Structure 1
Amino acid sequence: MSKTIKTLVAASLLGAASLAHAAWPDRAVQWVIPYPAGGGSDVIGRVVASSLEKQLGQTIVVENKPGAATIIGATYIQNAKPDGYVVGTADSGTLAFNPSLYASLQYDPDQFTYIGGLARFPLMLAVNESSPFKTVQDVIAAARENPDKLTSASAGAGSPHHLALEMFKQRADVKITHVPYKGAAPALQDLLGGQVSIGFVDSAAGAANIKAGKLRVLAVATPERLATLPDVPTMAEAGVQNFTAYAWQGLVGPADLPAQVVDKLGADLQTALKAPEVDEKIRAMGVEPMPMSASDFKAYAQAQQKEWAEVIKKADIKLD
C-alpha cells in the first residue's frame, strides 16, 4: 500500500472516529421545566425523562426554572446553545397565551425548535358538593338572571382555568366575575369551601376531590366524554358549542437544533409516551399523554395560539 493511500485511509478512519464521538448525545442532557418541583408538569417531565434516559443512553438532568408565567424558563431554553444539550417543557401558556397576554416577551414562540407533544390536562367546569347547580344550564340561567353575581375561581390571571372561563362566558353569552388565586391549590380550596360559585379545574388538580365526591363536575371541555367520568357530558352535550379547552405541554429546544437531534429525540419521545409504564403513570394523574411529531406539535401550538388570541382580545386581558 502506497504512503498516499495509507494517509487517506488513516484520515478516513480518524474522521469516522470523530463523527462517532460527536454523535448526539455524548453527555448529559438538561431538561428545563418552567414550574416548581412537585407539580403536575414537573412530575410528567421527570417520568418521561426517566424513560428517555434508557433510550438515549445518557443522563437527563431535570432543572426547574419557575416564575413569570413560564417566561423565565422559556427564555433560558431559547437562549441556550443549539446543540441538543438543553431542551425543556413549553406549555399552553408559553406558546399560546403569553403572546397575546403580554405586549412584549423575552422569547419568541416562533423561534423554538419544536420536538414533540407531551401531555394535556382536560379542563372541566365544577362546583362543590353543596352547590345548587346540577347542570351547566343551571349556571347559565343564574348568570343571566344576575349578571356578574356568580364568581369563578382560577389559578391566576392568564392561567388555562381563567381563559377557559373567558371562553365559556363568550360562548354561553354570560357575565361571571373572575376571582384569580395564586395557584390551583388555593383556588380549589375556596371552590370546595363555597367562597366562589364555580370554577374551571384541570383533571390533575381536581382528581382526588372529584373521586371523593367533594367536587361535582358539570361538564368537560373536551370533544368526547372522559373515560374517567363517563356520566359527565361534554360542553357541547351540555349546550355550549365550540368549546374545547386543555392545559397542554410539549418539548422544545432553542432555534436551529440539528435535524439529527430533533429526529432522534422526537422519535424517542413518542416511544416513551406510548410505553405502558409511562402511559399508566401519566393517566393515573388524570392527564392524557399527547404524543405528536415535531411538525404536528408546532402546527397544534400555532392553531391554539390563534384560537386563544381571539378569546383574549375579546376579553380585553392584558397582564403587563
Structure 2
Amino acid sequence: MSQDGFNRFWSRRDHLRAFAFALGLGSIPASTLAQSAAYPSRPIKLVIPYPPGGGTDITGRAMAQRMSEALGQSVIIENKPGATGMIGAAVVAKGMPDGYTVLFGAASEMAINASLFRNMTYDPRADFEPVSLVAVFPLVFVAPTSSNQSLRELIDAAGRKPASVSYGSIGSGSPQHLAAELLSSMAKVKLLHVPYKGSGPLVQDAVGGHLDMAVSSVPPAVPLVKSGKLRALAVTSAVRSEALPDVPTMAELGYPGYEFNTWVGMAVPKGTPNDVIARLHQSLIAALQASDVQAALRDQGAVPVGSTPAAFREYVQAEIAKSDRIVADAGIQPE
C-alpha cells in the first residue's frame, strides 16, 4: 500500500469510524489463526514506556483489559518510563520473540527518536514486528485570548521578522516541537521555540500570554478553549477533530499537505512467529470494538484505527522518513 493510500485509509472519517476492522481480520488466513490456538499459555506483559496516568498509559490499560478477555490470559501492564520512551522500547526490542513481551508504544520511541539520536540501543526500523496502529492523536495550535491574531497573521509576522513569534512545546524533539517545525518549513519562516517540561506549565504560560502560541495535545487544551482561556488556531490532522469541530485544519488555512499526528501502536520483538502476531492482532481488533476502549480513546482526543501489521510497518517507515525531513529542515542536530 502506498503512503498516500494509507493516509487516505485512516484519515477519511468513514474509514475511521469503521476502524478498518474488516481489512485487518480479512488479511489473516483462517489456518494461521488456528495455529495460534496454543498461544497464549501464560500471562502477557504489555510494556508502556511512560509513567502511569498519562494518555498512552490510560489507553493501554483499557486495551489490556479487553485483550485479556479475548486471549483468555492476563495482559499485565508494565510501565518502563524514561529517555523519551526508549527505555521501555529497548526492553521489548531485546525481549524473547515469543509474544509474551509486547510494546504499547508511541510515535517518539517508534519513529521520531530514530531521527534525533545517533546511538540508540535498539533500531525502530528493524528490531520490531508490527502488530497494529492503534490510534492517532491530533495536536492543536493554541494562542492566548489576549491576542486576536490568526495563525496566518502570526506566520506573516514571523516572515517579516524571523524568530519574532514564539511558540511553546513540551520539549525539544517532542511531537509538538516537530509539528511546529513542519509548519515553519512549509511556510518558510523562522519561529522561536520555547521548550517546557510538560503540558501543565506550557498551557499555563499560553493562558498567561507569555507565548504567542503553543502546540498542545487535545485533552488539556479543550477545556481551556471552551472556557475562553485559550483560542484554538488549527489542528494538525488531515480532517477536523471531533473534540474541536469548529477548529480548521492546516490545509484549510492554506497549507495543503500539512499533517502531523502523534500515535500509538503495538509491536513485538523481531522474529516473533506470524501465528502469534495474528493472535495478538485478533485480540487487539476485538479490544478496539469495545465501547469503554473507544470512550478512553475519545477522552484522549484520539481517533481509533486498527490496521494490518503490513500497513503499520509501512506507516512507521513513512513516519521515520517524515521525522528525518523535519529534523534536517529545522537544523536540529541529532544527539
Query: Structure 1-normalised TM-score?
Result: 0.90
* Count of residue pairs brought into register by the alignment: 301
Q: Where does residue 114 of structure 1 map in the other structure?
A: 130
Task: Pick one of 186, 191, 196 that aligns with 2:206.
Answer: 191
AA paired with 1:28? P
Matching residue of 1:132 = 148
Deviations 1:83-102 (A, max 9, x none): 11110122211122111111
| Segment drifting more, 44-53 vs 224-233 | 224-233
Higher relative contact order (CA 8 A, sep 6+): 2
- In structure 2, what is the Cα distance between the partners aligned to 1:122 and 1:299? 20
> For residue 158 of structure 2, what is the aligned residue in structure 1?
143
CA distance in structure 2 between the aligned counterparts of 1:252 and 1:298, rounded to whole angstroms: 10
User: For the Cα contact (< 8 Å) 1:184–1:205, is it kept in 2?
Assistant: yes
Gaps of 5+ in 1: 1-18
Structure 2 unaligned residues grouped into runs of 5+: 1-33
Among 80, 85, 88, the residue aligned to 1:73: 88
Instruction: State the distance in 2 between where 1:70 and 1:191 align.
Output: 26
Amino acid at match of 1:193: G
Which stretch of structure 1 is more off in the superposition, 124-133 or 238-247?
Answer: 124-133
| Partner AA of 1:75 in structure 2 | A
Q: After the TM superposition, which residues 18-167 of structure 1 pair with which residues of structure 2 at under 5 Å, given as runs?
A: 23-109=38-124, 110-133=126-149, 135-167=150-182
1:238 matches 2:253: yes
Measured against aligned partners, the alpha-carbon deviations of 1:238-265 in whole angstroms (never above 9, x if no partner) come to 1122210101110111111111210011
Shift of 1:199: 1.0
The alpha-carbon deviation at position 207 of structure 1 amounts to: 2.5
What is the root-mean-square deviation in Å for CA atoms of aligned residues? 1.8
- 8 Å contact from structure 1 (residues 136, 218) kept in 2: yes
Q: Distance in 2 between matches of 1:174 and 1:21?
A: 53
Distance in 2 between the 1:162 and 1:207 partners? 19
State the AA in 2 paired with 1:84: G
- 1:205-227 per-residue CA deviation (whole Å, 9 max, x = no partner) reads 32322232222111111112222
Greater Cα shift, 20-29 or 271-280: 20-29
Q: Is the 8 Å Cα contact of residues 170 and 176 (structure 2) preserved in structure 1?
A: yes
The answer to whether structure 1 residue 292 and structure 2 residue 312 are counterparts is no
Cα 1:34–1:25 change in 2 (3 A) is same
Change over 3 Å in CA distance of 1:278–1:216 after alignment to 2? same
Give the Cα–Cα distance (whole angstroms) in 2 for the partners of residues 48 and 38 of structure 1. 14
On the 8 A contact 2:36/2:275 being kept in 1, the answer is: no
Q: Deviation digits for residues 258-284 of structure 1, max 9, x if unmatched? A: 112100111211221122221122112
Compute the displacement of 1:314 (Å).
Answer: 1.3
Deviation at 1:146, TM superposition (A): 2.5
**1:192, CA displacement in angstroms?**
1.6
**Cα drift, residue 319 of structure 1:** 4.5
Select 2:319's aligned residue among 294, 297, 304: 304
What SS is found at the alignment partner of 1:115? strand
After superposition, what is the alpha-carbon deviation per residue over 1:112-134, rounded to whole angstroms, capped at 9, x for unaligned?
0111112221012111222232x
Identity %: 38
CA contact (8 A) 1:158 1:319 kept: no
SS at match of 2:267: strand
3-state SS of 2:105 partner: strand
Is 1:169–1:175's contact at 8 Å kept on the other side of the alignment? yes
Contact in 1 for aligned 2:70/2:286 (Cα 8 Å): no
Say which is worse superposed, 268-277 or 62-71, in terms of deviation. Answer: 268-277
**Residues 270 and 293, structure 1, Cα contact 8 Å, conserved in 2:** no
Find the structure with the greater CA-based Rg: 1
Q: Secondary structure at the match of 1:237?
A: helix
Within 1, Cα distance between the matches of 2:155 and 2:37?
60
With structure 2 as the length reference, what TM-score do the two structures score?
Answer: 0.86
Alignment check: 8 A CA contact 1:171 1:242 kept? no
Report the Cα offset of residue 21 of structure 1.
Answer: 12
